[in-house]
């Protein structure tokens, strides 16, 4: 009985030992498997990191290589630029420089001509006999007639003044065409309606426009062949007016300074003073007094303006004739306008000028 118990105990002990050993082996295997899994995961991470690093390095190298290739390609293109293309570029630069120098030279010549003209220095060139004959042909010059030109700034009222001298309105047949802008683009020739009058009037294109610079106006229009020149201005005395007067003095051509549109200017001054033409209650004496004040102010301002401009141009002082076309027309028809200023005096001076037998210096040289 004791032997059986002892045997049973031993068998139990052996079974426990084998179970313990199996558990120990199982634990060891689990630890080993876990360690191997960690090692595999670490290796995978390292592999991925290495792959990413390699990819980044490859991309960066490719970018640098592309930029370097592009740079070298551009350098190669520049080196391969045709010699003729560079030559054409050099020629274009040379032409531009030559044009710039020519423009500077032309501008300097123009500025010098204007300065010399304003200072009264006579230009070196004088019209040739051929140019004088051409200008005479252009105006249909006749020895037995007096050729009177009306010159001045565009819009000054030259056409209306020519009509006024001839005793005509602006709307009659054979009158000089009028307009707000530069109506007169070419020379207009207008004989006096009175066949006994040997005077021919000429309506000239406006001075001081972009078409005809004021410093070229006198020679360009052939004004040196006229017997008398009326220099007309309205709101202001311009460089073009001065240029004409300087050349008239140079060629010894009688010149008359005329301020036009006097009636309009006096009316404008009256309006500034408070006059209302629509007010029927205006006192007649007050109106007369206001007109007299406006008239005196306009005349004084005009004469001061002309005197100052002549002095600035080193020209001697001379009378300015203040007129309106309506009054001139009345005077030409033998009437006595109520609001006359210088119209009668100017008409008398021009009649005397027509009657004078003073020979034109340039024309005499050609005719004889």
Domain ranges of the chain: 129-367
- Angle (CA) 94-96-99 rounded to 5° is 110
DSSP E strands in 220-275: the ranges are 228-233, 255-259
Is 109 in a helix, a strand, or coil? Answer: helix
Rounded to whole angstroms, the Cα distance separating 354 from 368 reads 21
The span from the CA of 285 to the CA of 34, in Å, is: 129
- Of the pLDDT bands very low, low, confident and very high (cuts 50, 70, 90), residue 364 is low
Higher pLDDT, 291 or 81: 291
Look at residue 182 in the predicted model and tell me its pLDDT: 47
Please answer whether residues 244 and 166 qualify as being in contact, where contact means their C-beta atoms are separated by less than 8 angstroms.
no
Predicted local confidence at residue 45, as pLDDT: 54
For domain 129-367, the CATH class is alpha beta
Sheet holding 199-203, edge to edge: 188-191, 199-203, 146-152, 228-233, 255-259, 320-322
Instruction: Give the pLDDT of residue 104.
Output: 79
pLDDT band at 349 (very low <50, low <70, confident <90, very high): very high
Question: Is-above-0.75 flag for pTM?
Answer: no
* Per-residue pLDDT tens over the stretch 137-163: 999 999 889 999 999 887 788 888 898
> Which residues, in sequence order, are CB contacts of 87 under 8 Å at separation 6+?
none
Which stretch of 44-53, 54-63, 306-315, 327-336 has the lowest confidence by average pLDDT?
Answer: 44-53
For position 115, what pLDDT does the model report?
A: 66
Choose between 95 and 37: higher pLDDT: 95
Q: What is the pLDDT of residue 117?
A: 59
The average pLDDT across 325-333 equals: 91
| For residues 77-97, average pLDDT | 74
82-96, 236-250, 305-319, range with greatest mean pLDDT: 305-319
Find which of 10-14, 17-21, 263-267, 297-301 is predicted with most confidence, using mean pLDDT: 297-301
pLDDT digits 0-9 by tens, 226-246: 999 999 988 778 888 888 999
For residues 352 and 256, the answer to whether their CB atoms sit within 8 Å is: no
Give the span between the Cα atoms of 274 and 153, in whole angstroms.
Answer: 31
Report whether pLDDT(46) > 70: no
Average pLDDT over residues 67-80: 68
Q: Checking DSSP bridges between strand 188-191 and strand 255-259, what pairing results, if any?
A: unpaired
The pLDDT, as a whole number, for residue 20 is 72
Taking only the tens place, the pLDDT of each residue in 263-280 is 999 999 988 888 776 666
What's the pLDDT score for residue 47?
57
E strand spans, the chain: 146-152, 188-191, 199-203, 228-233, 255-259, 320-322
Q: Is the per-residue pLDDT at 305 higher than 80?
A: yes
Span 219-224, average pLDDT? 89
Mean pLDDT across 314-340: 91
For the chain, the average pLDDT equals: 79
**CA torsion angle 308 310 312 313 (round to 10):** 170
Calculate mean pLDDT across residues 329-354. 90
């Amino acid at each position: 009985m004791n032997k059986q118990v002892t045997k049973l105990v031993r068998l139990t002990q052996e079974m426990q030992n084998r179970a313990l050993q199996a558990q120990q082996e199982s634990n060891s295997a689990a630890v080993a498997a876990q360690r191997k899994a960690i090692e595999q995961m670490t290796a995978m991470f390292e592999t991925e990191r290495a792959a990413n690093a390699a990819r980044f390095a490859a991309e960066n190298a490719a970018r640098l290589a592309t930029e370097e290739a592009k740079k070298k390609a551009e350098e190669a293109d520049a080196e391969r630029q045709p010699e003729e293309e560079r030559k054409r570029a050099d020629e274009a630069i040379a032409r531009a420089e030559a044009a710039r120098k020519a423009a500077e030279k032309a501008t300097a010549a123009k500025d010098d001509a204007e300065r010399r003209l304003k200072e009264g220095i006579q230009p070196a060139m004088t019209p040739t006999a051929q140019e004088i004959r051409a200008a005479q042909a252009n105006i249909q010059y006749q020895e037995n007639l007096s050729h009177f030109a009306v010159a001045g700034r565009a819009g000054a009222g030259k056409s209306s003044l020519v009509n006024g001298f001839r005793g005509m309105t602006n709307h009659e047949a054979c009158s000089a065409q009028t307009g707000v802008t530069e109506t007169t683009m070419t020379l207009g020739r207008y004989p006096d309606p009175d066949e006994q009058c040997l005077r021919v009037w000429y309506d000239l294109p406006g001075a001081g426009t972009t078409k005809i610079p004021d410093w070229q106006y006198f020679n360009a229009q052939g004004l040196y062949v006229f017997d008398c020149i009326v220099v007309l201005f309205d709101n202001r005395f311009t460089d073009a007016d001065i240029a004409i007067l300087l050349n008239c003095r140079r060629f010894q051509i009688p010149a008359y300074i005329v301020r036009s549109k006097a009636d309009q200017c006096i009316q404008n001054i009256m309006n500034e003073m408070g006059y209302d033409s629509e007010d029927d209650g205006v006192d007649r004496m007050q109106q007369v007094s206001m007109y007299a004040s406006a008239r005196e102010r306009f005349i004084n301002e005009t004469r001061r303006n002309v005197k100052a401009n002549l002095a600035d141009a080193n020209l001697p002082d001379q009378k300015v004739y203040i007129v309106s076309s309506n009054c001139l027309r009345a005077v030409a028809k033998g009437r006595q306008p109520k609001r006359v200023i210088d119209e009668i005096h100017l008409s008398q001076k021009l009649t005397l000028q027509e009657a004078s037998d003073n020979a034109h210096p340039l024309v005499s040289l050609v005719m004889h």
